[in-house]
Structure 1
Amino acid sequence: MNRRGEYGKLVRDRIPQIIRESGATPVTYTAGPQEYRSRLRDKLGEEVAEFLEADDARAPEELADVLEAVYALAADLGIDMDQVEEIRRAKADERGGFAGRVVWTGNR
């Protein structure tokens, strides 16, 4: 059950085919636009949680799953990834990135 109390979860497009090839019969339906966006947000949270729990060996695969959810959300919002990159770059130019490993502990 997800955070809204609904059953099921958004899966990659080929998962039903893979389930059928394993000899099982998947039960699926196509989400409407509002449900799809909501389930994409849930999926992003799920993928981030899996990344956070992953060890260093598994982290790249989990990070790729996070990125797949981000790509799908951007497309659903009508934003192309070039726009996302432009926004990211502008924020990095204005505020910096994270490469400096700076940890803020408050003000005096």
Structure 2
Amino acid sequence: MSVSDDIARASRPAKLVRDKIPQLVRASGEEPITSIADDTEYRRLLRLKLREEVEEFVASDDVEELADVLEVVRALVVDLGTEFDTLEQIRDHKAANRGGFSQRIVWYGNRPKLT
């Protein structure tokens, strides 16, 4: 039986997992069905993983889920061909020019101009 046959029979949709998950599954006595994503699939799956992790954080307010979001962001930064320090510099620049979110300002739009 080939890996592609295994993938075709898999009961779950394809999802990106952390690098050590297959060995953890094997250690539990199961045999994972895996493949290595090509560049296009990796980019697509990273974006789906980001949504998944953000949804899990929003639902739980668990800081561990927020750490998962950060891990996916780090992978996206590398995939985009840049460095995390560069992302942090961009964030810092935006914060300096537009502010952060510490003041908790909620915007509802603008008042109509009086004519």
The answer to whether TM tops 0.5 is yes
Alpha-carbon shift at residue 96 of structure 1 (Å): 0.3
Deviations 1:25-44 (A, max 9, x none): 00000000010011000000
- How many aligned residue pairs are there? 100
Normalized against structure 1, the TM-score is what? 0.90
After superposing on structure 2, the runs of 4+ consecutive aligned residues of structure 1 that deviate more than 4 Å are none
Alignment match, 1:91: 94
Q: 39, 49, 64: which is aligned to 2:45?
A: 39
Q: 65, 74, 79: which is aligned to 1:76?
A: 79
Alignment match, 1:60: 63
Asked if residue 103 in structure 1 is aligned to residue 109 in structure 2, the reply is no
CA distance in 2, matches of 1:105, 1:36: 38
Which residue identity lines up with residue 78 of structure 2 in the other structure? A
Alignment RMSD, CA only?
1.1
Deviations 1:56-86 (A, max 9, x none): xxx2101000000000000111110000000
Alignment match, 2:16: 10
Q: Determine what percentage of the aligned residue pairs are the same residue.
A: 57
Normalized against structure 2, the TM-score is what? 0.84
Larger Rg: 2
* Uncovered stretches (5+) of structure 1, i.e. residues with no partner: 1-5
CA distance in 1, matches of 2:23, 2:94: 41
Alpha-carbon shift at residue 7 of structure 1 (Å): 2.5
Alignment match, 1:3: none
SS at match of 1:26: coil
